[in-house]
Structure 1
Amino acid sequence: MTIRLTWKRVIVSLLGLAAFGMAFAWSGIFNVAASSGHWAISNWFLHWVMRNSVRTHAAVSTPETVIDRGGMVSAAGHFSQACASCHGAPGVRPLPVMQRATPHAPDLSVNAREWTDRQLFWILRHGVKFSGMPAWGSDGRDDEIRRMVAFVRSLPTMTPAQYRALVVTPAAPASLPASDAVVIARCTGCHGANGQGRGQRDIPILGAQRVAALEAALRAYRANTRHSAVMQQAAATLDDVQIAMLARHFAAMPGLIDRPVTRPATSLAARRAQQIVERGLPRVQLPACASCHGPGKPQPILAGQRAAYLAARLRNWKGDGKEIDARQSQAIMPVIARRIPEDMIEPLAAYLAEGRR
């Protein structure tokens, strides 16, 4: 007997399969327990789909520059706080309970070799559905993602000693209460016991910064109104008392200088930078830096700050040139940064950095 294939029979068969699938899902027979693992075919299919998706999207939606090896300390510090519990680290095993997830986080000392830099960047920025891997990066902070790409790329060859050197936590002064020392230790791994940022170009100098500025920054990171995946993670569990203690602790250290920049303007670029600091550029409605950041002003001290950090922050604020709603938090600095000529960012940062000499 021959059964003739017709559109009606095809549609009825498909509807029957759909109804069976819905009935199976409704019955609860399918075991969703993480302890049961995946079927081999399910595991293969999900990873196949994921790899194809990452490869395609990374090829068309990642920026030209996706790796920056100049900020390994901050990347390692964030990794130790937010990632090592799942992925482990050189000389550090992942937490056993995290390895009971389905799927569990991969060993990056092996897995990192399987991805290109652009693919790592895309995964870090966007995360992966149904895997427990979050969208790691913070809005507008591709600079942090680039540094994390460099750190993850280095994991396959990183020794435990090299990892410990990156995440070392300098001992807090013995005179501090034990509870304060524990909180401060979460900061000194990146910022150093002296508040100087361990010489890393992406980590700002905190020593002698205004207490109010440090408190405001930590509260903004905690409230997710100031963007930094690294700092939002670090500030998330701080209470107001701890924030005030940290601000006083780092502000009491030597570092920045709350006085006018005194560097002699000996070159044309330095004279133009001096003009921006002291008088601004009225023709493009750029206010003077000193009008907000000068001695006794409410905004953070800039004189003596690390030049590379200042330049990076200004370029980050300039962004892609899109308009910003003036009602948004911190909208003023993107507007100001976009009025600074591109060729003046480096000279301006250098002029301000030399302010303590």
Structure 2
Amino acid sequence: MTIRLTWKRLAAGALGLLLLGMGFAWSGLFPIAASSGHWAITDWFLHWTMQNSARTYSSFQTPEEVRDDRAMVSAAGHFHQSCEVCHGAPGVPPSPVMQAATPPAPNLATTVGHYDDRELFWIVRHGVKYTGMPAWPAGDRPDEVRRMVGFLRRLPGMKAEEYRALTAAPPGPLSGCTGCHGTDGRGRGQADIPVIAGQNEQFLLSALRDFASGKRQGAVMQVAASGMSEAEMRAAARHFAELPGLRAGTLASGHAIAEHGLPGKQLPACRSCHAPGKNAPVLTGQHPAFLAARLRQWRGDDAVTDVRKPRDPMAVIARRIPETEIDSLAEALSRGDTGSAPHR
């Protein structure tokens, strides 16, 4: 007897399979125990699917610049705090507890070569579902992701001694801070790490609170600050504020925007806030590259449109600074030059 296939029969068959599958899921017989692992074909299929997805989405969900090899300390510090326990590191084996996950985290020194820079950026930024790989906790900090991609590219040839040098911190209650900022608070010579020695104590305390609450974005600092108590934050802010370093002086920079702003664009002068007696941070002596990077990060915050009600008023102010002026302004603010310069 010949059975004719009709749309009704196909629909009934599909509904039957769906009900069968739902019944199996309801029964609880599906093995979800991590101890059972995956079948080899399941493991291959899931990994193959992940690689294909990373390749496809990274082609249109990544910025033009996806890698920064110039600053390793902050990326290595974050890797040490957040990634090492699962993936291991040069000279440091991964936690056997985390390796009991299904799937276990791979040895990145041997697997990063399977991906190009755009794919690595996408994976670090967005994470991978159904694994222990989280998305980057600070969504608006692509600069941090670029530095992590640069660090990951160094892993295959990195020796244990180099890794320890990048992540070493003197023992003590402030080891979570000094690993990146250094015992002198000057950022270990890294252009992406601010000089906090001699900075305003209240500003440092407010920054720690904002990072811990998530009000301020920055994966490295959010991880570091979230584990600190209020007393520890106060002690750290006091300690670094008392170190010799940045001292508020007259911000008479030889740059028109710093001295006069741009009245036609409703851009106030930098010195109107960043001056002695103000709550804004001290800029003189700060790394020019750090200042320029922060201004560009604020310029990218398009969610803030009203300077009177912003998440951070600097986001609005920075967008009023011409892009062509940012680097020269950062240099002038860092030096604290005196004198005057014509408007450009």
Q: How far is the alpha carbon of 1:8 from its aligned partner?
A: 2.7
Is 2:212 aligned against 1:230? no
Structure 2 residue aligned with 1:214, among 171, 190, 204? Answer: 204
- Structure 1 residues 107-116 or 37-46, which shifts more? 37-46
Is 2:183 aligned against 1:193? yes
Structure 2 residue aligned with 1:329, among 311, 314, 322? Answer: 311
User: What CA distance in whole angstroms lies between the structure 2 residues aligned with 1:328 and 1:281?
Assistant: 20
Is 2:343 aligned against 1:353? no
Match of 2:269 in 1: 288
Q: How far is the alpha carbon of 1:5 from its aligned partner?
A: 2.6
Structure 2 residue aligned with 1:245, among 211, 235, 249? Answer: 235
User: What CA distance in whole angstroms lies between the structure 2 residues aligned with 1:231 and 1:322?
Assistant: 22
Contact 2:197 2:241 in 1 (8 A): yes
User: What CA distance in whole angstroms lies between the structure 2 residues aligned with 1:108 and 1:325?
Assistant: 44
* Corresponding pairs, count: 337
Match of 1:85 in 2: 85
Contact 1:257 1:356 in 2 (8 A): no
Q: How far is the alpha carbon of 1:356 from its aligned partner?
A: 8.6
Is 2:309 aligned against 1:319? no
Q: How far is the alpha carbon of 1:321 from its aligned partner?
A: 4.8
| Structure 1 residue ranges without an equivalent (≥5) | 172-180, 266-272
Contact 2:87 2:94 in 1 (8 A): yes
Match of 1:270 in 2: none
User: What CA distance in whole angstroms lies between the structure 1 residues aligned with 2:272 and 2:79?
Assistant: 38
User: What CA distance in whole angstroms lies between the structure 1 residues aligned with 2:59 and 2:99?
Assistant: 30
Contact 1:67 1:147 in 2 (8 A): yes
After superposition, the C-alpha distances for 1:38-57 in whole angstroms (9 at most, x for unaligned) are 12232222212211111100
User: What CA distance in whole angstroms lies between the structure 2 residues aligned with 1:130 and 1:92?
Assistant: 25
User: What CA distance in whole angstroms lies between the structure 1 residues aligned with 2:139 and 2:243?
Assistant: 31
1:74-223 equivalent positions in 2, closer than 5 A: 74-170=74-170, 181-182=172-173, 184-223=174-213
Contact 1:211 1:251 in 2 (8 A): yes
After superposition, the C-alpha distances for 1:216-255 in whole angstroms (9 at most, x for unaligned) are 0000000100000110000001111000000011111111
Residue 147 of structure 1 aligns with an amino acid whose one-letter code is R
Q: How far is the alpha carbon of 1:170 from its aligned partner?
A: 3.4
TM-score of the aligned structures, taking structure 2 as reference length: 0.94
Q: How far is the alpha carbon of 1:320 from its aligned partner?
A: 6.4
User: What CA distance in whole angstroms lies between the structure 2 residues aligned with 1:324 and 1:115?
Assistant: 38
SS of equivalent residue, structure 1 residue 293: coil
User: What CA distance in whole angstroms lies between the structure 1 residues aligned with 2:262 and 2:20?
Assistant: 71
User: What CA distance in whole angstroms lies between the structure 1 residues aligned with 2:301 and 2:223?
Assistant: 25
User: What CA distance in whole angstroms lies between the structure 1 residues aligned with 2:218 and 2:302?
Assistant: 20
CA RMSD in angstroms, aligned pairs only? 1.6
- Structure 1 residues 277-286 or 27-36, which shifts more? 277-286
User: What CA distance in whole angstroms lies between the structure 2 residues aligned with 1:97 and 1:276?
Assistant: 55
| Structure 2 residue ranges without an equivalent (≥5) | 339-344
Do the aligned partners of residues 138 and 292 (structure 1) sit closer, same or farther apart at CA in structure 2, a change above 3 Å counting? same
Residue 248 of structure 1 aligns with an amino acid whose one-letter code is R
Match of 2:40 in 1: 40
TM-score of the aligned structures, taking structure 1 as reference length: 0.91
After superposition, the C-alpha distances for 1:169-209 in whole angstroms (9 at most, x for unaligned) are 135xxxxxxxxx23x11111110010000000000001100
Match of 2:341 in 1: none
Q: How far is the alpha carbon of 1:323 from its aligned partner?
A: 4.8
User: What CA distance in whole angstroms lies between the structure 2 residues aligned with 1:66 and 1:198?
Assistant: 24
Contact 1:257 1:355 in 2 (8 A): no
User: What CA distance in whole angstroms lies between the structure 1 residues aligned with 2:306 and 2:136?
Assistant: 25
After superposition, the C-alpha distances for 1:27-73 in whole angstroms (9 at most, x for unaligned) are 10111111111122322222122111111000111111000111110
Contact 1:71 1:200 in 2 (8 A): yes
- Structure 1 residues 75-84 or 155-164, which shifts more? 155-164
Identity percentage over the alignment? 55
